[in-house]
A and B are shown apart, each in its own frame.
Chain A
Amino acid sequence: MIQTATRVAVAKYDDLAIRAGYAVKLEDQEIVLFKLTTGEVRAIENRSPHPKGNRLAEGLVSGEYVFCPLYDWKISLIDGKVQAPDKGQVKTFEVEIADGNVYLVF
């Protein structure tokens, strides 16, 4: 079987504000983009793994982590892992930036 990668343009790079979340919905997946202080863009599933967790878009961003706005879990924007003492993981998505556009790659 041949695997084909698809990519979807979801935002203009310049529209993303540093350390703020930008939520997008792709089919029925909720994804949030964060532009780090370094200018890199990361994409993760827009839902905290906390049992009562909800969207992450409004969380506080520090370095390569985002803190869940409702319950303060610290989540890595690199591998999606929740940091100790809490546990869990969110999905991460590959991001590509080209011609001023931000793409999600599948």
Chain B
Amino acid sequence: MNKKKLVMIGNGMAGVRTIEEILKANPDEFEIKIFGKEPHPNYNRIKLSTLLQGDTSFDDIIMNPLKWYEENSIQLYMGETAIKIDTDKKIIVTDQGRTVEYDELIIATGSDSFILPIPGADKQGVTGFRDIHDCEMMINVSRTYKKAAVIGGGLLGLEAARGLLNLGMEVNIVHLMPDLMERQLDPTASSMLKKELEAQGMNFLMEKQTVEILGDERVTGLRFKDGSEVEADLVVMAIGIKANAEIARQSGVYVNRGIVVNDFMETNVANIYAVGECAEHREIVYGLVAPLYEQARVLANRLCGKETAPYEGSVTGTGLKVSGVDLFSAGEILDDASTKSIKVHNEFDGVYKKIVIRDNRIVGIVLYGDTKDSTKLFRMLMKKEDVSGMTSVAILQSENSGDEESNIASMPNDELVCGCNGVTKGTIVEAIKTQGLTTVDQISGCTNAGRSCGRCKPLVGKILAHTLGDSFDSDLQKTSLCSCTSLTRDEVVEEIKAKGLTNIKEVMYVLDWKNEEGCTKCRPALNYYLGMIYMDGYKEDRDSRLVNEKMHANIQKDGTYSVVPRMYGGVTNAQDLKKIAEVAEKYDVPLVKLTGGQRIGLFGVKKEDLPQMWEELGMPSGYAYGKTLRTVKTCVGAQFCRYGTQDSMALGIELEKKFERIDTPHKVKMGVSACPRNCAEAGIKDIGFVGIDGGWEIYVAGNGGVDLRAGELLCTVKTQEDVMEMTGAYLQYYRETASYLERTSKWLDRLGLEHIQKVLANEETRKALNERMDKTLQRYNEPWNEAIQSKDIQQKYYPKENTFVGSDSK
């Protein structure tokens, strides 16, 4: 069979989606060739914001890797631009002089950033925000320059600004209008947004019209119409996009603002179609993927000769991908004479909701600060539901105010879950059931939900959990240690004790490990459990520790290490400071920095210099790398401070001296403040102590890391001895019952504060726990000193790299 030749110009999101839909509908109908100007396979352009903000990598945003093209026998011409279409001969010509025949031609060239036609717009350092190249350029500039100006306070501009802040630049945002995102937000929501972004560090220059870009070769600043100026080493233009339709125009295809298409994405020329941001449908050019993907489906069906409903245009809903900002907007956002709106403005919580209604139907939505109801409201808008029977409270209050489980259960099947890809709850549930899916990624693969902006992924996850019901839950509960075994943490610990297994090799052998020598998950975990069980007898396996603990130093991105000596309670003296200074100078240490844990870090040290530096410092390791006690942060306390009620430094030093080096499931941090002003932030430490008149409050399970959590009061005690006793018992109980890599905050949430309080209330139990703790503490040696003393350790872990030049022939 002779296949029809399908050629596509443009290798972007809308175009490639069209091809995916064609392959689904009729995989064998066409011989497909794609031309893409960018030197990349199809990637998720939406995620450029996330990429710039440093939250994802380039590899993660590739949507169709080269292998996909290969597997589907698609010929991809990457980095090749189509420059001409000969509609009579039905051929296209590329910038590399290639001519290719087509039977059907799709134009999916997207758009370009609109660049203001003002003097200086061509200077170095001026860019749009559209593709990977633009992002790379911004990232590069941020390494040497500090001042950025973003022209345009819309979606793109604000996302770019957030990215530039994350890259360490100072950012001015220049906006022509009095309100940010004025096309998506009303003035109230807009001013809430502005306040939040200002708090994040953005500076706004409102109602400024840029008339000139200053500088010689490189940009140095902007001049505005009112004569004022601002400095800038980088200018990002984010004022809008311009459909990329030149090639169509020159070839006689009718172009208005975009390439004009009918309801089946056909242009005025036979066999030529347009889809995506380059297309204009009923006088609208869309700039979001949801409508473009609808277009893609219609066009694919058309090309495959399948019956299809026409594309009749879309209403779009948008959010902003800036962390800390939660907003949603859809439809008409401003009132006119024919509309009435419901508004709720809770200034205290920073929540604003506005629903615009015409003829008893929702026609517009603005949500700021709380967007939980967006899917429900958007569905009502799309389906033009009559809301006359509902009270305003009912409209605004989601059925989602109950518990999670019943929310998902009561969610109608036709409710849109993934706005970008038009995927409903029903579609997801069906895919899970019929195809036996068990992960969110699999659902994305089958239904496309979550494949674009990713906002819907948490909801998809909940639907998955709900649909799988018990099988999902029980799976979660019985998580095995790692993929090398099917046993759980508790089962492994029980087996070790019951069978008297004494080393990692034995555990793996007797318990039938699938990988003979385990992996990076189970080796360190087993090493910990064995050490916890055999308090004094266990000889630890250094090679089963992850790199930082194995090396007794933190590895850094370039393979160098950091050295952080102990500084008990954050207290130091002139002599130690001198030693640190001398070592830093002698070894040419690139960075000397005060750490967040109240001590001094030397960063960028070469591996082979470590032992020598440790020796010259003559201080113990601060274990800044260890699953053990890190620092005990103290405030100055009663010795100096007028508010201090207790000697916080003394307690901090005693705690740090006693518990340093003890292996724990995850790192443990402590803080001691001498009064409730809490200058040592004891409320966000694994264990925190707050001095009060006549005693100490002990707070536990605080965390200042990924899941910020305030500590909870475990108990109040009278003396410093009481503190030491309670802390020893608490820590030992954590050591014995937590999973490896489970921080105290998660552990306490799992066991419950009350349970732990009950256990520790018993004096006998506390005594036994403390005995086991003390016994364990005796087995440790100072590791830096050990390395200095041992030639073997130096040779094995800190060797100099050997260079060879000579060779002998054989």
Q: Is the CB of B543 within 8 A of A58?
A: no
Of the candidates A25, A37, A51, A61, the one whose C-beta lies within 8 Å of that of B801 is A25
Of the candidates B543, B559, B803, B805, the one whose C-beta lies within 8 Å of that of A54 is B559
What does the 1/0 interface line of B543-554 toward A look like (CB < 8 Å)?
A: 110110011000
Q: Is the CB of A58 within 8 A of B802?
A: no
Distance A59 CA – B804 CA, assembled complex (angstroms): 23
Please give me the residue from chain B that is nearest to A67 by CB atom: B520
- Minimum CB–CB distance for A23 against chain B, Å: 5
Q: Is the CB of B796 within 8 A of A4?
A: no
**Is B34 at the interface (CB under 8 A from chain A)?**
no
Asked whether A26 and B555 contact (CB < 8 A) given A7-B810, A62-B515, A62-B518, the answer is no
**Is A99 at the interface (CB under 8 A from chain B)?**
no
Q: Is the CB of A24 within 8 A of B804?
A: yes
**Is B809 at the interface (CB under 8 A from chain A)?**
yes
Q: Is the CB of A69 within 8 A of B796?
A: no
**Is B780 at the interface (CB under 8 A from chain A)?**
no
**Is B749 at the interface (CB under 8 A from chain A)?**
no
Of the candidates B557, B607, B799, the one whose C-beta lies within 8 Å of that of A22 is B799
What does the 1/0 interface line of B789-810 toward A look like (CB < 8 Å)?
A: 0000001110101111111111
Asked whether A5 and B810 contact (CB < 8 A) given A15-B795, A17-B796, the answer is yes
Distance A24 CA – B550 CA, assembled complex (angstroms): 20
When distances are taken between beta carbons in the complex, the residues of chain B under 8 Å from A100 are none
- Minimum CB–CB distance for A7 against chain B, Å: 5
Please give me the residue from chain B that is nearest to A63 by CB atom: B517
Of the candidates B523, B551, B808, the one whose C-beta lies within 8 Å of that of A62 is B523
Please give me the residue from chain B that is nearest to A64 by CB atom: B517
What does the 1/0 interface line of B456-487 toward A look like (CB < 8 Å)?
A: 00000000000000000000000000000000
Please give me the residue from chain A that is nearest to B555 by CB atom: A69
Q: Is the CB of B58 within 8 A of A8?
A: no
Asked whether A72 and B517 contact (CB < 8 A) given A8-B808, A60-B544, the answer is no
Q: Is the CB of A60 within 8 A of B801?
A: no
Q: Is the CB of B543 within 8 A of A70?
A: no
**Is A90 at the interface (CB under 8 A from chain B)?**
no
When distances are taken between beta carbons in the complex, the residues of chain B under 8 Å from A58 are 547, 550-551, 555, 607, 797
- Minimum CB–CB distance for B440 against chain A, Å: 15
**Is B558 at the interface (CB under 8 A from chain A)?**
yes
Q: Is the CB of B555 within 8 A of A62?
A: no
When distances are taken between beta carbons in the complex, the residues of chain B under 8 Å from A22 are 799
Q: Is the CB of A61 within 8 A of B555?
A: no
- Minimum CB–CB distance for B719 against chain A, Å: 45
Q: Is the CB of A20 within 8 A of B797?
A: yes
What does the 1/0 interface line of A35-73 toward B look like (CB < 8 Å)?
A: 001000000000000011011001111110001011010
Distance A24 CA – B515 CA, assembled complex (angstroms): 29
Asked whether A24 and B555 contact (CB < 8 A) given A58-B547, A67-B519, A67-B520, the answer is no
Q: Is the CB of B799 within 8 A of A60?
A: no
What does the 1/0 interface line of A7-29 toward B look like (CB < 8 Å)?
A: 11111000101011011111100
When distances are taken between beta carbons in the complex, the residues of chain B under 8 Å from A51 are 57-59
Q: Is the CB of B520 within 8 A of A6?
A: no
**Is B693 at the interface (CB under 8 A from chain A)?**
no
Q: Is the CB of B802 within 8 A of A11?
A: yes
Distance A54 CA – B547 CA, assembled complex (angstroms): 13
Asked whether A70 and B557 contact (CB < 8 A) given A15-B795, A19-B543, A25-B802, the answer is yes
Please give me the residue from chain A that is nearest to B558 by CB atom: A54
Distance A5 CA – B807 CA, assembled complex (angstroms): 10
Q: Is the CB of A63 within 8 A of B515?
A: yes
Q: Is the CB of B809 within 8 A of A59?
A: no
Of the candidates A20, A23, A30, A52, the one whose C-beta lies within 8 Å of that of B796 is A20
Asked whether A61 and B543 contact (CB < 8 A) given A54-B557, A55-B559, the answer is yes
- Minimum CB–CB distance for A73 against chain B, Å: 10
Residues from 157 to 208 in B contacting A, C-beta threshold 8 Å: none
Q: Is the CB of B810 within 8 A of A27?
A: no
When distances are taken between beta carbons in the complex, the residues of chain A under 8 Å from B807 are 6-8, 106
When distances are taken between beta carbons in the complex, the residues of chain A under 8 Å from B516 are 63
Asked whether A6 and B809 contact (CB < 8 A) given A52-B557, A60-B544, A63-B517, the answer is yes
Q: Is the CB of B547 within 8 A of A69?
A: yes
- Minimum CB–CB distance for A9 against chain B, Å: 8
Residues from 376 to 401 in B contacting A, C-beta threshold 8 Å: none
Distance A89 CA – B550 CA, assembled complex (angstroms): 26
- Minimum CB–CB distance for B550 against chain A, Å: 7
Distance A19 CA – B550 CA, assembled complex (angstroms): 12
When distances are taken between beta carbons in the complex, the residues of chain B under 8 Å from A72 are 520
- Minimum CB–CB distance for A67 against chain B, Å: 5
Asked whether A60 and B546 contact (CB < 8 A) given A5-B810, A10-B804, the answer is yes
Q: Is the CB of B806 within 8 A of A62?
A: no
Q: Is the CB of A24 within 8 A of B801?
A: yes
Distance A19 CA – B518 CA, assembled complex (angstroms): 13
When distances are taken between beta carbons in the complex, the residues of chain B under 8 Å from A69 are 546-547, 555
Please give me the residue from chain B that is nearest to A23 by CB atom: B801
When distances are taken between beta carbons in the complex, the residues of chain A under 8 Å from B547 are 58-60, 69-70
Most buried by A among B544, B797, B801: B801
Distance A99 CA – B797 CA, assembled complex (angstroms): 25
Distance A8 CA – B808 CA, assembled complex (angstroms): 6
Please give me the residue from chain B that is nearest to A20 by CB atom: B796
Distance A63 CA – B57 CA, assembled complex (angstroms): 30
- Minimum CB–CB distance for A5 against chain B, Å: 5
Distance A76 CA – B550 CA, assembled complex (angstroms): 21
**B-contacting residues of A (Cβ < 8 Å)?**
4-11, 15, 17, 19-20, 22-27, 30, 37, 51-52, 54-55, 58-63, 67, 69-70, 72, 74, 105-106
Given contacts A20-B797, A72-B520, 4 further A-B contacts (CB under 8 A): A24-B804, A63-B516, A70-B547, A105-B810
3 nearest A-B pairs in the assembled complex, by CB-CB distance: A69-B547, A62-B517, A54-B559
Task: Offer 23 A-B interface pairs, CB within 8 angstroms, sorted by A.
Answer: A6-B810, A7-B809, A8-B804, A8-B806, A20-B543, A20-B797, A23-B801, A25-B802, A26-B804, A26-B805, A58-B551, A58-B797, A59-B547, A60-B544, A61-B517, A61-B543, A63-B516, A63-B517, A67-B519, A67-B520, A70-B547, A70-B555, A106-B807
